[in-house]
Amino acid sequence: MTGVDGDPRVAELRGAVARLRRQLAALPGELPDRAAADEELAALDAMVSHGLPEVPRLRRSLLLIAGAVGSVSALSPALGEVRAGIDRFGSLPGGR
């Protein structure tokens, strides 16, 4: 198997991204960084859809998304799922 074909990590991460996107869309009220979060979630989904992404790039996306929605407690579980999905691709040198 090469690329994303049949890689369960890809399916898991794409599912987590989709759930966070749905929850973000359903969130009532204004969120100043909603557009930034939406854009980065779309970019994250595209990354894993077009081959195995680089772990540092995945983690950068996670930081941007967390910065945009991290203060919204209702999104914490879904954001945690995205993080867990990214963690399955491997860790950075030094255990981070």
For 38-93, the pLDDT digits (tens) are 999 999 999 988 877 889 999 999 999 999 997 889 999 999 999 999 999 986 55
Residues 88, 92, 94, 96: what is their CA dihedral angle, to the nearest 10 degrees? -60
Query: What is the value of pTM for the model shown?
Result: 0.85
Q: Residue 96 pLDDT > 50, yes or no?
A: no
- The angle at the Cα of 17, spanning 86 to 87, to the nearest 5 degrees, equals 10
Task: Look up residue 6 and give its amino acid.
Answer: G
